[in-house]
Structures are given as structure tokens and as C-alpha cells.
Structure 1
């Protein structure tokens, strides 16, 4: 396996705790071996036993240090948990100390052991009592990178190159510098794609005042900028400022753009992080993910005042969801994030934005007061908003009429889509050696197809079913109903119509409320069946489709909220958990099905009673493509009055 020429750094290293043979030691593992060896050197020369505890540096790759510890101990005796052998004890969070008491008791029987502590704050008394030496490891220096490069066969580094490697986040350097890639190529990539997690200054680009759309989120952001300014002037404390918000909406709706624009508006620095980015640290090992998470918050704290945006927040999961083997992983990740969001971790000067496409998948504890306490929906921009976005990116290069034309033709486009389209238009104009003209923008627009009139009528019936039932049962106030005239041909999931409701803040959510919500959800297919004899497949087959949501609500009424035949409840709330309960719990599937059928017939009966209003509004929606809640309420009232007059006359 090893050669006499380089016994300490073998060409191939078999991970004794892994399932397969890995390649030669990676850069982070080499660096961990180098820094840990300085403490272990005199112990390794002796034949006596030892227990050494290492606290990892901020941002350290826990998996790399664990591999390095095993590698250093492997030279004496095989790694094992058997008495008399070597042992590596990982400490990732407080539970490892609380639940691992027996692990520490084993240390007196083990010959040599290394305790790896993910954060120096976790150096509990039990660890200090057990260890012969406790060392807080520093981040690898430029000289350490020079030694590692030689051991990896890259030769000698210049001072400039060594300093560049030392300045990189561990994950960046590990990705760039690998066996099989020439070191000059890796260094070129590090210079070409620098660390962009923390901006060194307020990011350039538009402020919130310059951006169109964003509704209530924009209003909140402008108020926040005033509060941050007052905080800078010492007029208020940070306790008077909102700590965090949740932004949710469809992909490409501009959640990240909002975060960077908010930073510019507040004169703050912008720190970007994502659950995927955290999980990629150390191939998703729990310790490395927690370390990467803490580093993002530490970066934001060091850059304050700052905006920390956490993208893809839903992929972290929920503690109430049974994730099988991964349930413990998700629970510890969420607990770690809660600790960072809470007051126990100093966050003065840091505003956290969580961004997601699926808010219902996020653990409820993350959304409580003091954490991500305000929630804003960011929808796709309407025509007026798209015109404003085009105007921002195009300046005065097109006339108002031309802007109106391209805004109308870009239905279904997000702000990110518009920015990309304008970039393509600029590229086209440059190739022709002139300024942008409307044809450049039109060529950059997505290929669209007009929705056939027959389908437009079906979509209009469906959305009106939601709207009319919503007005009649009054669970939540209706805002508007709309349909699209065109659809994109790029294969992306897109909404062709929408009945928009506003949830009341202090609505009492009784069993009647949820039955009304189910009736509204089923009003779409009820209207389709009423006007066309049957309904299409678009109401199911997707996590947020009508039938899927109605089924989940009906299930939770029975098993989560105590509205069914039993007051005994479960905490289940995820689609997977609810599906499992419907499958395994005797009679539950039948009860849910009966609830859905009853509310479907109820919705259909309400629409039948108001058939004249449905038919009239149907024609107007197909023609105008959008109707207000007031129009729908007035039409229902007028048709009822007309029907009453006819009844009295007869």
C-alpha cells in the first residue's frame, strides 16, 4: 500500500470507516494532517497512550479532519472501538457530549484516541477531563499549503500562490485543487472564480426603489432601510429591527434579486448561502454541513450590517417528517439553524432572509417570532411590473409603446427571465454594431404559443369555480381571478390561470373553515364538470395541485387537528407522512374520500345555484383575461336579484 519513499503520505488511502477505497489524500486532509501533527508529533514518537482533543478552526472540513485523525492513528495500531486500540471520537453538537458519556468512559481503556470537536464552544468539561491535551487548531497557513502541495506532488508554491490558497474557503480550495489537475490550472480557476459568498462592499445593481413589483415585501424593505439608518445613527437598538423574513414563490420570481437589492437599499453587505452549498461541504457529512452553516453566519456577522440570504431553505427538511435513516440528520441540522437564528447567538447587524419555492415544507419552528418572523409571497410579475423591469434594464433605448409590446409578449416571464432576455438582446445588438432595437428584444423572448380557445374556456371555468365558491363560502377574501392567453414552449411548469385569495390574519380556523377551503379547492373541477361534463388532469399530480392539497387538508382534519371522529391527534403534516397514514390507518382513506366527495358535491351545488353568474363571468374572463373580486361579487348579486324577480313574477 505505502512506499518507503513517502510512508507518511501514501498514494492511496483506505478509509477504515468507509465502504470503498478513496483516491490519494485530498488537500483539506493533507492540511489537517499537517496542523494536527504539530501537536501529536511527540506523542506519536512514544509508545505510551494518549487522548488529545482538537477544536477545529472556523469553516474547517470536519470530514477531512476525521480522515486525518484516522490516518495519523493508523500508523500505530488498527482503528477500532475494541479496548486497547485507537479511537476517533467526533463531537458535532451538544448532544454528542450528553449522549456520548459512555464514549468518554471508554477512553480510559483505549490506547490512543483523538477527540474532534466541531466548534471550540463545544469543549465541555467532560472533554477537558478526558483529554491529556486540548488544542484549538488554527486555520491552515500559507506555509501549510506549501507543505501540502509538495506532499501532493505539485512541487513548490510561490508565496503569492500559497497566500491565494490560504485565503480561500476550504471547500473552494478542495474543489479546485485535486489530483489529476495541474496546479497552475487550479490556481487559474481560483482567480477566475473567486469566493463570492461575502461581498467586500455594498453590491452594485438596482435598489428596491428602482425595482418594479415585490408588493408588501418591497414596502417592508423600504421601512427596514429607514430602521437600519436609525440604528447607524444610534437612535434605536438592533432589538427594534426585524431579524428575518421568509420569501416564497415560484422559481425565478426574483427572491435572490430582492435580497441583493435590499442590501443595496440598506447600504449593507450581501452574504449568499444555500442549503445545497452547505450540504456540498464534505460530501454532505453532518459535521461539515453544520460547520459550513456556522461559517455563513460568522461571515455575515463579520460583514455587518449585512443581509444573509439562505436559498433553497425547504431542502433542509422538517423535524416532524419521518425521513427514515436521515431523520436524525435533518433534526440536528434544523436544531443547529435554530440555535444560529435565536438570541443565544449574537446577530446584531444581520438580517436573515430564507428563500424557498415550497414554504409548506419548512419546519414551523424556523418561522416563529424572532426568527424568520415575516412571510412574503413573491409571485411572477404582471404586465405592468414586467414593463417596469424591462424599462430598468433597457433604460431609454425603447419607447413606451415598444416596452408595452415586449412586456405583453413576455407573459409568464420572471424578473430573472427578463434580465437574461435583455442580455441576449444586447449581445445581438453588439453583433450588428448598433444600439438595441425592439427586434433584438423580440428575438430574445421565449417561444410562446397561443392557448387554443377551447382550452382557454376550460381554464376560465376552472378558475371561476374557485373564485365563485370562494366568494360564496367566504373562507378567505378573494382578490382577483385571471387566465393566460399564451404559454411558453420551453417545457417549464407554468400556471395558466389563478384565483388569488388573501388569508385573514386572525381568522378562526375551525372545522367549518377547512371544509370551506376544501370546497374552494374542488370548485375548479366542479365548474369544469358543470360546464363541460368532465374535468381534466391538471387538478392533480403535483404537490400544490387542487386535489393534492384538498386530500392533505381532509387528512389533517382527521388526524392532526381533532376535527374527525377522535380527539387523539398526530403531528404528521408532510405529504409523505399523510400518505403513509392513509395507507396504514384502517378506514382513514375512506373517511378522507367521503369528505372530498361531500365538498365536491357542495361546490357543484353552489355553482349550479349560480349558473347564470358563472356563464356570464365565464364569457367576460375569456374576453378580459382578469376580473376583480368586486366584479365577481357584483355579478353574483345582480344575477340573484334577477332570479328573485323572475321567481316573484311567476
Structure 2
């Protein structure tokens, strides 16, 4: 923190500014100056030295009081314990007390010092010994707001207006009252919007420590909370703190919940905005949208420290995509957002989180350093994470065994789905006048449907096709293969089986590697055709289906990685752009189709060679429902040991003798 040498001392305690520079202070800082100057006005008037300890009122903005202390000390000298300098000692927690004891002993050498104590519990004896005065500051009164309004150039407040401001938290009042806005307009907004979209207190709900899942995003958030606390204490500058991140994941994966929990963990305010909300402002006209964007950032700045969530960020568009007649609009919107994210605008105290279901649609400039500089993918929760989410919402009402029963029935669910399920279960129990039980939760689950045996057999063949060819080619290591015998009666695509592979982090991504991956993707329908004569529609029709993924990989091999007939490559990798290239570039669709058919026949040939293994494992999978990679590998090795096929060749493939 920097400090100022004596410039011109405050003239009167009820109007403690006396120059134009005071107009730049925020409302919370004005109120802090007023309260503190009442205590030290005589010291300031006599130009004498002093050490005073201020205990902040409940809910006081520590940063505002710190800025007010710097203003009152008035000077430009840097932070120092050298004789004759001004000094501020922040005491936010017990650690500050321990670290501040050497400073307390040296305060006798300081001309003027202010000790800021976050709450009365931290008022240690050493502080009382060092200070000439110890003062517990009251919450700002209506009279204080009248004084602050005059200092900010708003003139005299009416009694009812002053009382209205005193009923607000300082941060909420600061959002409405700022330089350049008429006072009447600010007061009208406070009366018109008693509950705005800005949370002027830390929002209620769980902190990050209480949330299950989130992986690297959670670890980052906990570290960020430590950094924000250090910033509050003046130990680090805002330049040492991450400015923003991008969160991506499917609907319901908990992006908004994460941002809200981050605000709680950082003891920060929370402002919600969305691109759709900005676009709807004023009918979507460019000027109105840019104004709505700026207002969200202004709200966050007034409420700092603050987490600003920008939801549906992808709907803004990207300057690299052809938006037709709207391209100029998109470009200016993104340029406006870039200016708000950095430009010449200070964002100290504001953490920006962008949320999207489609990260590939975000303009690359928004993701550069100093903007949304990190990207965390938040997927649907796994079994362990779902158990934690159920436990969070259920508390200790169900045993671990009972929780595991409902967890097993919730595969593919988001955190929002689980919260809805428990809410319905609580409603059912409440109507019957009792505590929640397993039957309530089970009753809130969608009805279970048993898959016909014929469908189970087909799914087992399909998934074993992936698993067997995956082990034979070893493009990526197999983890397990599984099938289900029941599904839930819900809308959308449900997995009824799966072959899980673990992608190698440092595998050589050659044309051979990608050909192997395509063969594994097509091995499911190859197994169906081998055993049943044809294959069904489940392998296509949605972004994560086998044929869709294989088609995209084959297209990128041709035009992105130089594995096709030309070294001239393109950067596009979104499904939409890849589809456009297949439609527009001569010969590309035919080249992709040839590659897919070649790898399909390769997979089918391998499975035909190992038909006996496929049949044996099929019988086991129908009984056991889950087989490990070792189960599949050992079955193939047993056949090899009987001399029916050779051992592993140089590429990891198994071949007939």
C-alpha cells in the first residue's frame, strides 16, 4: 500500500475532505472517512503524531476502510517502518496478529499509524498497548450518508432519503450512487429494485469445500480464495491473482453452482449476467447491448471483491466465423467485451467467469492471458461425485448403503438432476409428515425399464467389438467393458453399455494411431454386422456416437493434420466447419468415406479372426455385466497360447498363425 505525506488537512470532522480529490472516493470509503475522522480529528488538526486502532463495524468493507485510512494519513511515501513515515497495520485474522507484532513494537518510531482490526475478537493486548486510542466504529448512520452525499457533490439529502441509504449495505448503496448519475435516479432505483441481480452479500449455499467433483476447477478455486484473502490483507497486489476463467460442460453440469460457490468461498459478492440477457436489452440494438455489458461490469466493480459470471458466452459469437450481415455486429460486441476485460479499465477486485456449453465457439482473443486465461471442463459427475452430491442434499438421512442404491440408478445425471430428485423426495416425505426415506428418493427416480434379452445381447456384442479390437490394436489402453439390463424412462440419449479407454498423454499421434482409433470406433457396428448380419442406428445421430466421431477424425486427418493427400491444412475442428468442408471441398467426402470403409473392414476382419473369443466373452459379459481389460486381454492370450493365433507383433496386433 502507498501513503501520502501531509497535503492539506481535513477542515471539520463533519466535512473531512476539503478538496476536489475527495469526489473520486466511493460511497463506502466516504463513510469510512467520516467515521474515522471523528476519532482522530484533533490529532489531524494539530498535525501531531498518533497511533490509533479502529475496530470495524459488523459487515464493514475492509478495503474501503483501508483506502480511507490512506486518505486520512495523506502523503505519497511508500509503506515503511522508517522513522517519520506513515503506516497502516491490517489485522484480518490471527496470522496478521503474529506477523504484525514486530511492527507493533516499532510503532514508536512512526509519525502516524492506523491499525485496522476486522473484528473485536482480534483486539489483542499488544494492539491496546501500542495504540493511543482504540475505537470501535459504528455502522454508518443516516447523518453520515448526508455528509457523504454532500462530499460527492449531490447536495443535501432529505431525511427519508438518508434513512433509505442507511438501511442499505454500503456496497449496495455504492452500486446505485456513483459519480455521473443524478441522485434522484439512484434513489429511485433503490426503491424500485429492492432485490437486484447483484448479490450485495456473500450468496447463501455451499462453499467449494462442500461440493463434490469439479476436479482441477475446484483446486484452482480454493487457491484463488487464499489469494483473495491475501489481497484483502494487503500482502499481494491484484496483479498476482488470476483475472478470469472459462468453464465449459454440458447443461446441468454445475457451472453456475461453481461460480456461486466460488464467491462464497472467497467471501465475495456475486453478479450474474448472460449474453442472452445483454442481447435482450433494448431489443438487441448494438448500443443497448454494449451498455448492458458495461453495466454488468460496473455492478461488479461497485460490489468488489466480486465474482462476475457471464453465462451463455458462446452466443456472442466469434470473429473467425462468418456471421453474414451480422459480422460487423459480432465484431463490435466482442471488441467491446475485450475492452471491458482489459483495455484501459482497471478490474482490481473482480474475477470474471465465462460459462458455455460450446467452448469451441468462443473467440480466441477472449481466452488470452489477462482475460479468461484458464479453461476448465466440467463433465457430468462420475459415480463417486454423484454419491457426494446425493450426500450433500440428503445430509445424514440415508445410510451409505442406501445412498449407493440411488447413485447406481443415476448414471448420466447432472448435479441439477440430483438436486431435483432430492427436492421431489423431500416434498413427498413432507406431505406424509415424516422424515425422508429411501422409498421417497426411489419414488422420485424415473421408472426403471428392463431391457429385452435380445437388446442386451446386441449391446454386449457391440461393446465387446470395441474392447477386442481396442486390445488388438492398442491405440489407447482398454479400461473396462460393461452393459446394463435396465434403463430409466427419461428423454434423451442413454448409455446402455460402454467400452472405456484411457487416452495416453504422450502417445505419438501419427496416422497409424488415428487409423487405429477409427477402427476401434467402428468395431462396434462391425461386431453387430458379423454376428447379426447388419447394425442398428445407435452408432450415429448425435455428436458422441461412434460414426460421428469416426467421421470427424477421418476429416481432420485429411484437412487438419496433413495425413491425407495434401500437406495444405485448415484450422477448423468444429463439427459444423468440418461438415462444411466435406460439402464444399472436391473429393474430401469421398476420401473420408474410403478411410471409414477401410477401417470398418479392418475391424470386422480382426473380429472374424477372433470369433471364438467374442463368443466366450459375450457369454461372460451377459452374466457378469462388467469385464476388466485383463479379462479381455487374458482371453485373447489364452487363444494365442493354444497356437490358434500368433503372439503380439510389433504394433501390438494379434494375428492368426
TM category, shorter? 0.5 to 0.7
Aligned to 1:34: none
Name the structure 1 match of 2:555: 555
Provide the TM-score with structure 2 as the length reference. 0.62
Deviation readout 1:358-411 (Å, 9 max, x if unpaired): 333334444455444443333333344333222211222233333233333333
> Following TM superposition, by how much is the alpha carbon of 1:449 offset from its aligned partner in structure 2, in angstroms?
2.0
Structure 1 residues 404-461: Cα deviation after superposition (integer angstroms, max 9, x where no partner): 3333333333211221222222222332233223333222222332333332333344
State the match for 1:416 in structure 2: 416
Alignment-derived partner of residue 643 in structure 2: 646
Contact 1:250/1:379 (CA < 8 Å) preserved in 2?
Answer: yes
Distance verdict in 2 for CA 1:582–1:479, change over 3 Å: same
**Per the alignment, do residues 354 and 549 of structure 1 end up closer, same or farther by CA in structure 2, a change over 3 Å counting?**
farther
Distance 2:478 2:227 in 1: 33
Cα 1:370/1:520, change in 2 over 3 Å: farther
| Secondary structure class of the residue paired with 1:646 | coil
Deviations 1:559-610 (A, max 9, x none): 3343322233344444333333322322222112112212222333344455
Within 5 Å, give how 1:77-92 maps onto structure 2. Answer: none
Q: Would you say the 8 A contact 1:412–1:488 is kept in 2?
A: no
- State the distance in 1 between where 2:377 and 2:598 align: 31
What are the residue-to-residue correspondences of 1:360-379 with 2, within 5 Å? 360-379=360-379
Q: Which residue of 1 aligns with 2:489?
A: 489
Offset at 1:537? 1.1
Q: Cα 1:589–1:445, aligned 2, differ >3 Å: closer, same or farther? A: same
- State the match for 1:195 in structure 2: 196
- Pairwise CA distance, 1:200: 1.0
CA distance in 1, matches of 2:213, 2:579: 38
Distance in structure 2 (CA, Å) of the matches to 1:554 and 1:296: 43
Contact persistence 2:174–2:302 (CA under 8 A): no
Change (3 A) 1:648 1:385: closer
- Show the counterpart of 1:260: 260
CA, structure 1 residues 381+567, in 2 after alignment: closer, same or farther (shift >3 Å)?
closer
Check 1:411–1:549 CA distance in 2 against 1; reply closer, same or farther (3 A cut).
closer
How many positions carry a matched residue from both structures? 474
Q: Aligned pair 1:545/2:545, yes or no?
A: yes
The answer to whether the 8 Å contact 2:483/2:625 transfers is: yes
Distance in 2 of aligned mates of 1:475 and 1:637: 18
Cα deviation, residue 622, structure 1: 4.5
Query: Structure 1 residue 467: deviation in Å?
Result: 4.4
1:436 and 2:436 are equivalent in the alignment: yes
CA distance in 2: counterparts of 1:469 and 1:572, whole angstroms: 30
Whether the 8 Å contact between 2:175 and 2:299 is mirrored in structure 1 is no
Q: Do the aligned partners of residues 382 and 552 (structure 1) sit closer, same or farther apart at CA in structure 2, a change above 3 Å counting?
A: closer
Give 2:279's aligned residue. Answer: 279
Q: Distance in 2 between matches of 1:600 and 1:189?
A: 68
Q: Does 2:633 correspond to 1:632? A: no
Unpaired runs of 5+ residues, structure 1, are 1-141, 143-158, 170-186
Deviation per residue, 1:85-126 (Å, 9 max, x gap): xxxxxxxxxxxxxxxxxxxxxxxxxxxxxxxxxxxxxxxxxx
Q: Please say which structure displays the higher CA radius of gyration.
A: 2
The residue number in structure 1 matching 2:295 is 295
Q: SS state of the match for residue 245, structure 1?
A: strand
The alignment partner of 1:246 has SS state of: strand
Gap change, CA 1:424 and 1:326, over 3 Å in 2? same
Residues of 2 paired with 1:168 and 1:268: CA distance? 15
> Hey, what does 2:359 align to over in structure 1?
359
Q: Does 1:458 align with 2:470?
A: no
- Match status 1:566 vs 2:559: no
| Structure 2 unaligned blocks of 5 or more | 1-153, 155-162, 177-188, 647-656
Q: Distance in 2 between matches of 1:509 and 1:537?
A: 30
Cα distance in 1, alignment partners of residues 498 and 312 from structure 2: 24
Q: CA separation in 2, counterparts of 1:374 and 1:291?
A: 27
Query: RMSD over aligned Cα, in angstroms?
Result: 4.0
